[in-house]
Structure 1
């Protein structure tokens, strides 16, 4: 590149900006890859990243994880939401996309919005706050008409609140599913997880179990409320929970760490719980593996309850008693909420309200009455 006194990254920025101005790169179109830009401008990777990063920050470009960097739509289209494209996209941000209950929720959303002539823009946070910020930045660069969000680490203060305030400022309706940020108290579609945790625990208490273990994730409100329900049911029954049998964990500890802690308690043959309530089915399957390794029979010696009624609940030889999650219905209701909110914006009507589902216990073969002498 010729040396005219300007910093190299500034010259790269100006050239890309010129491509956008002249229409060489059109809104929604992917720009050259990082390697192509390095060869084209004969500069370092750092220079390209600095130039592209500045343009993303300025709103002229946006990044899409795993896909590349794209030319943003004009500011007036992004803010007004009145362009044809803006009326045709619904953003969806979930903690995960391709596993557990999330594909079913997304199919519920997609089945409704596609019939209305909309397309989905999907993003995934992996329950990581930094990734959530990236997802929200990307959505704000796209011409979305509405947004469906599953919050990340909802039991703690969220540093990304400003993005949600920007959505509100731009009058882009959004609804939260599964949980919500209390600081915002936004419209939400959730389960009554406290009652669900109570029902799972009450089921074991009715079967005569008095030695109960509870294992709950605590970096989201779902886990906090399910644990509250567990504790409430025990207190109502006059059952004390041993401190070491109330096991809590964060998302990053779901692997070997939480399994190790559970195994350590179950290896104490002199005193074990007779029933276990798990945060979800995914965790219950891990606990089932530990019980199998230790030779503890389910449900003869240990009753086990999951949560969510996912496909995992019936994927093992022992079918899990669990609390049903309205996966498809939640997706449909979230899509309907967004569509009503979009129409409300056009007619200045009342905003749709929140939805709280009543939990339902699904009893299968992983729970049974306590064996006399072990209660």
Structure 2
């Protein structure tokens, strides 16, 4: 109980630094060693508290550089809640809109940092918006962007595996000769210029890694209202087929944006309460992988001794706790820079609408996965 109190104390104090303005967006916070000394708590408590604040979007990590305050507090209340502006020194009077599903959460600060670093260097101003993966909010964002007479738009699709009712806004952009580029996924109805990951291959290599470690009873957890999750699930299933492994009930658990925190964990707990426990889990992303690790701890299970876990995106969360996640890479900042380069070229040269770039993922192996012990077979 005392440990939990210390953990909450650390979280509340760091959050207070951010909300009071003591730590500004983009500013580095104290190192892990400094925080340990400052609060007089264990390294594990600091890692758990900081990891949670990263997960909640208050902080973000950059490998080799440290932990930084995110721009969670910057969303202006004079606009819709999901819109904020970055007013750079615009030397050419041109403004680029950027719409993502989230802004200050998870891998998005790094994607946005890549976009912003290139565009501001080219003298562009930016307007950011987020949809929270909600189609109605996407509609509001698009309406606002059009009313601001943006010169170009970088957008991450909302609920990309479903039909999108906002298609006509994108067609309006085309009619007005405003170039737009989609990242992470794209609406198949439009076939727009896009920069994406080969998520099917990512799901495959994550699963094959576990199969090569001797695991056969592997569960896949996939978000299916986004195409990324659908494609990762396809790769998961392909790995079973290519290795001639039998399929079994409940090997795939799917969820949507709205029910990831309740329905998914309830289903997973039911499976672990049964006699047929899996020995490994492939997770849709690192955020989910951390939730699963915390749930398994509550059940008295250890990672990787009892269950091996693979995440996806190789985010800062992959190294946020004492269990370091094996995870599939995502280009993050590089994707942001590439998107910014394309949109500038399209704005300045009236570029072609036929463009696609696909990043090939790799697996970063850490200590959340291990050889299956014979006692578990």
The 5 A counterparts of 1:167-246 are: 167-246=173-252
Q: Does 1:67 find its partner at 2:78?
A: yes
Q: Does 1:307 find its partner at 2:315?
A: no
State the 1:316 CA deviation.
1.0
State the 1:65 CA deviation.
7.0
Q: Equivalent residue for 2:49?
A: none
- Distance in 1 between the 2:181 and 2:190 partners? 11
Q: Equivalent residue for 2:3?
A: none
Q: Does 1:125 find its partner at 2:131?
A: yes
State the 1:256 CA deviation.
2.0
Q: Does 1:283 find its partner at 2:294?
A: no
- Distance in 2 between the 1:352 and 1:117 partners? 25
State the 1:350 CA deviation.
4.1
Compared CA separation, residues 352 and 108, structure 1 to 2 (3 A): farther
Compared CA separation, residues 326 and 357, structure 1 to 2 (3 A): same
Q: Deviations over 1:81-139 (max 9, x none)?
A: xxx99952110000000110001100000000000000110011000000000000000
Give the length in aligned residue pairs: 294
Q: Equivalent residue for 1:360?
A: 362
Q: Equivalent residue for 2:339?
A: 334
Structure 2 residue runs of 5 or longer lacking an equivalent are 1-74, 81-89
- Distance in 2 between the 1:131 and 1:303 partners? 37
Compared CA separation, residues 193 and 68, structure 1 to 2 (3 A): closer
State the 1:295 CA deviation.
1.1
SS in 2 for 1:243: coil
Q: Equivalent residue for 1:323?
A: 328
Q: Deviations over 1:51-77 (max 9, x none)?
A: xxxxxxxxxxxxx973249xxxxxxxx
- Distance in 1 between the 2:119 and 2:372 partners? 48
State the 1:296 CA deviation.
1.2
The TM-score, its normalising length taken from structure 1, stands at 0.76
SS in 2 for 1:244: coil
Q: Deviations over 1:292-334 (max 9, x none)?
A: 1111111111100000011111001100000011000000000
The TM-score, its normalising length taken from structure 2, stands at 0.76
Compared CA separation, residues 196 and 88, structure 1 to 2 (3 A): same
State the 1:144 CA deviation.
1.1
State the 1:165 CA deviation.
0.1
Compared CA separation, residues 350 and 343, structure 1 to 2 (3 A): same
SS in 1 for 2:222: strand
Q: Does 1:104 find its partner at 2:114?
A: no
> In angstroms, what is the RMSD of aligned CA positions?
1.6
- Distance in 1 between the 2:123 and 2:243 partners? 52
State the 1:242 CA deviation.
2.1
Q: Contact 2:91–2:124 at 8 Å: present in 1 too?
A: no
Q: Equivalent residue for 1:79?
A: none
